[in-house]
Chain A
């Protein structure tokens, strides 16, 4: 119980820290936000009016407190650029990022886990060697390049998938899957490579442990040793990696969303920073902070489930 209370305190203090830092960064950035939003040709009158609506005529401390108060009461403010409630915009874009995250995670696990086990069992053989060569490639290829190659192959040449855009689930579920397949693949390939490499290394490490020898000497079947003992122990580092991958994709995959023109969290974050849309940026950063902290929390609990020996002392 004390563990959970501690976690909760850490959770809240992280969020407060994040909110203060985001707010401060925007105060330090050079340039008048109103001028940046309206550009070179704006009337001085237009700029003055916008400064007032943005509350720039009040002190920074005052603005920070108002923002915190509003956020706690569930009012995330209105986007300066889009003139719409920030909460609506976030909710509108969540399905894209969520589906993308789920799809790429599914692909990563479905392909990464079996191949990782395979490569560890065939250690030293040619097939394993070839596969690990491919994982080397998968880790080192930048995702935007991979995305372009996928588009060129599957969309331009084979014409199997659309080159860009997102079809909502409510309109056409098959279209939605089609529009998400290539981006998910582009996201999953580096993930798959990482999972395979980690799993292989930990599996090989574990298979040299004493408990494996003990299991063998009591006459247990080789595959039983693999799946019941070794794999379980090897999963801990893999879960850490997968957790990081999830946090990454849920926070919006900026590059892949841009290349495939997907209206997700990542592309919104980029435009909001470029246009100094403070209410939007603050809420997005807060959302990403919540995601990262919660996933770490879940992973800590998962450790305990997989390996009850882990005592969460700290």
Chain B
């Protein structure tokens, strides 16, 4: 009967030997993370990364951990920010978004605006080719914009282009766009992807004119981009040969994978993750152009009284929230604009309401709520960050007699009740920033369909509507800065912070830049020796 035992023992030992043999084969898992770059941490957009260490090296591949799956590879059908961050490398527009919320000419070499602000004339660079080898001409721009604006007779794909009246292409390298009304926000909309004419397979095999082209997409596993050797902008030609986006739903696994050298970059790492990594990695951190706020429904009692809203603002200490909930990784805000929008950001508003329990109580007394009131704070339960913030706020408001009940709801219920129908008292949410200030501040306009703040103020409406049509940039900036100040004075919401985006990379991976829009610009990145 001993044979039985022998067989079992044999089984187990074979198994363990097998494990060792398997792991011995293949040498790609060797210790390759010899990181020599110093860990560079800076508060805002970092271009110091370039100066830190070493000589730039040609080629190489970068493996990036992404938590979500792309929603659609067609740039006109995708709505997910993660997808746009990836695919921005595949597509170029007439302009590209710069680091300082400025516009950099890309496919367009120059543009002119008529004096009445209704006619835009774009001149295209010559000799630009798409990934399929065909030349990019005014015809392709026409095709792309007709599709977006609905001028091709079909449903328009974007409301940003609804102001287009007509598009003309006098020659192969000139596009003349006629607007129905003055629309200063139109210029920033031109960062949209230009796609080849009559090509309808963008969802399966996207083709653009960007610095990288799609090599492979395996759902649930990876999306691989390959260097575009024929990229038109030689000065900003890509260095890295390959960019591999790995779909890794679990953020803890991503940190372990970076430690073991199986990936090279995590675009959104937690403070805890950075601690776990230790030294030898490049860590870049800065505002991500998001506004985390506690929205107050300006149409329900007692929040319809500006004094009550101001009292709430005085009662809340944002620094405490940033220190506890974000572990210090956040930029304090005072209005609905992130400092990532450098040009349009009105500074100084973040301390408009210096925390003061006395002032808050005084204001509540004047409003007739000396003994406080009950407030229901609705938060989407899938965002732990907002739920944690709600708990800190509930605690702080208790000091002035406001009894907060936190109601956690599912994201879909939040969309339906709060966002679509404004059936709520207070809520916490993060609003993603846009490149144009009108898209950010237009949310508060009285007639905006999804104005869930129920804010209505004629001064504010006037300012943003003037801003929409003002072509002079200096004047326009001033109008939107005033609009931000109105939001603060009226205490429409409690503007809390822009939670930092922290990116961790291998020590010798350099050149990562932060933009006010979602994009990871791999054309600027490289390895050092």
Contact = CB atoms under 8 A, between A and B. Distances in A.
A95 interface: no
Given A114-B11, A159-B31, A165-B221, A40 B257 contact: no
Given A107-B15, A110-B11, A164-B262, A93 B220 contact: yes
B416 A30 contact: yes
A174 B18 CA distance: 11
B309 interface: no
For the complex of A and B, 6 pairs with smallest distance between CB atoms? A31-B412, A263-B220, A160-B23, A223-B1, A114-B8, A163-B257
A32 B449 contact: no
Nearest to A176: B22
B275 interface: no
Contacts, number: 153
B150 to A, nearest CB: 9
B219 A258 contact: no
A163 B262 contact: yes
A262 B117 CA distance: 53
Contacts of A211: none
A28 B307 CA distance: 41
Nearest to A81: B71
Interface stretch (B86-94, B154-162, B192-200, B315-323): B154-162
A40 B380 CA distance: 13
Given A40-B419, A271-B69, A259 B250 contact: yes
A111 interface: yes
A263 B221 contact: yes
Contact of A32 (B1, B9, B411, B416): B416
Contact of A227 (B4, B222, B262): B4
Given A40-B415, A175-B26, A164 B219 contact: no
B253 A260 contact: yes
Interface of B: 1, 4, 8-9, 11-12, 15, 19-20, 22-23, 25-26, 29-31, 69, 71-72, 79-80, 155-159, 203, 218-222, 246-250, 252-254, 256-257, 259-260, 262-263, 410-413, 415-417, 419-420, 432, 449-450
A164 to B, nearest CB: 5
A116 to B, nearest CB: 11
Interface of A: 29-32, 35-46, 49, 81-84, 89, 92-93, 107, 110-111, 113-114, 148, 151-152, 154-156, 159-166, 174-175, 177-178, 181, 221, 223-224, 227, 258-261, 263, 267-268, 270-271, 275-276
Given A163-B260, A263-B218, 7 more contacts: A31-B416, A43-B157, A45-B155, A107-B15, A114-B11, A114-B12, A148-B252
A273 to B, nearest CB: 11
A162 B29 contact: yes
Nearest to A49: B155
A174 B254 CA distance: 23
Contacts of B257: 155, 163-164
A14 B120 CA distance: 64
B341 to A, nearest CB: 16
A241 to B, nearest CB: 19
Given A155-B262, A259-B250, A36 B220 contact: no
A156 B220 contact: no
15 contacts: A31-B413, A32-B415, A35-B415, A36-B412, A39-B80, A41-B79, A114-B11, A148-B253, A156-B256, A156-B260, A160-B19, A161-B23, A162-B262, A261-B253, A267-B249
Contacts of A148: 252-253, 256
A48 to B, nearest CB: 8
A92 B410 CA distance: 31
A160 B221 CA distance: 21
Nearest to A175: B26
A203 to B, nearest CB: 15
A308 B78 CA distance: 60
Contacts of A155: 29, 256-257, 260, 262
B454 to A, nearest CB: 17
Nearest to A271: B69
A166 B218 CA distance: 11
Contacts of B156: 45
B253 A110 contact: no
